[in-house]
Amino acid sequence: MADYSRIKAALGAREAGHSLPQSLYNDDEVFAFDQEAIFRRTWILIGFEIEFPATGSYQALHIGGAPIIVIRDRQGALRGFHNTCRHRGAELCAEGSGKATRLVCPYHQWTYDLAGKLIFAGRMGDGFSPESHGLRPIHVETLAGTVYVCLADSPPDFQPYRDAVGPMLEPHDFKNAKIAHEATLLERANWKLVMENARECYHCAGRHPELAVTFPIYAKGNFETVSEHEANFERRMVELGLPGLPAEENWWQAARFPLNEGAVSMTMDGKRAVAKLMCPIGDGDIGSLRWAIEPHSFCHSTGDFTFMFTCIPLNTRETLVLGKWLVHKDAVEGVDYDLANLVRLWDATNLEDRDLCELNQRGVNSPGYVPGPYSAVAESLVLRFVNYYVTQAKAFIAAAEAEAEPIHAIAAE
């Protein structure tokens, strides 16, 4: 069993309602632990079904540092596998997307069909069993056109998320969308600092003047109704048949909320960025559906487009932020939307957040750093994220210790 004593002590030292002890933000041992204990144990939103348009369409990516493949099989279903050959472990597909009729190992040409079955392994002899050497599967779920993977043997229950969030996602018609733009941004900060920043708008008034035009920067919690503007919006959404009351469990949250008065989209001026709507209900004036997955993502879906934010840990002090912009599949660039206008707000916001996260990391590295208290009003979602992290980390260590106890007991006898 790995020695988690230092991590366990740091988790135990964390004061309720406060940020984390320093080592949990800047220690290499903790980063490796996070990959295994957090990212390989929960559902990860990887994108949308439209990114797998045909039989054999695949994506090769890393989850928790582990290479995986998600591919559309011949029956039209999405399957996921560890991206490692069952011969000597070579990586089957380079990171990225593509299309294949079979998965062929570039090392010794072991070949697998789209269901992960080994169909060719040369010169292996009469005693070799191909049936025992198929690709190792991972869990894949789809919901209203969105795609999730989990590397755990027993993943968290997906059904409550499906039941609560599925009806919120359906009106946005992700199965008839397209990716209009993707952008990546390297942030020299620990992934937890990146996500803490992404879970609050305490800093928005001072650091996101562009976002403040449309986004309710003083909203509380998971966008609970507190004002007449919000109450009127809620009543209108009920009339339109758009579900959106806040819903959440430990690894997810979702709510439809109103934008600032006069705004119909999350753009620099609050006007629509795309003429061809993804959700034409209410003429697209439907606020924003925010849906977020712990530990790594959030999305905003307005009537005209969706923005997806994903945090990908690279190492202890570097995180890759991936952004995707979705529009209706029939929207024509230069006719229905101007790409620069579509991406301008979130590009500006992400660049500003990068600077803040790097500023935070430099300060956390200081010998003078002492964990401080979160604002219960302005940082409730940050507190929720950090509590999630601590709970998951402690549960992983407890399970590892319980599994090791019988061995120690036998040795003692």
Residue predicted with more confidence, 130 or 227: 130
pLDDT, tens digit, for every residue of 118-146? 999 999 999 999 999 999 999 999 999 99
pLDDT, tens digit, for every residue of 84-124? 999 999 999 999 999 999 999 999 999 999 999 999 999 99
Say what percent of the chain tops pLDDT 90: 94
Q: What is the model's pLDDT at position 411?
A: 46
pLDDT, tens digit, for every residue of 45-76? 999 999 999 999 999 999 999 999 999 999 99
CATH assignment, 1-41+170-413 = 3.90.380.10
Q: What is the pTM of this model?
A: 0.97
168: confidence class by pLDDT, cuts 50, 70, 90: very high
Summary mean pLDDT of the chain: 96
409: confidence class by pLDDT, cuts 50, 70, 90: very low
State the average pLDDT over residues 392-413: 78
pLDDT, tens digit, for every residue of 256-291? 999 999 999 999 999 999 999 999 999 999 999 999
Evaluate if residue 14 carries a pLDDT over 90: yes
CATH assignment, 44-150 = 2.102.10.10
Q: What are the domain boundaries of the chain? A: 1-41+170-413, 44-150
Whats the size of the chain, residue-wise?
A: 413
Q: What is the model's pLDDT at position 221?
A: 87
Q: What is the model's pLDDT at position 406?
A: 65
Q: What is the model's pLDDT at position 1?
A: 80
226: confidence class by pLDDT, cuts 50, 70, 90: confident
Nearest one of 291, 326, 398 to 12, comparing CA atoms: 398
Considering only CA atoms, give the Rg of the chain.
23
Q: What is the model's pLDDT at position 410?
A: 45
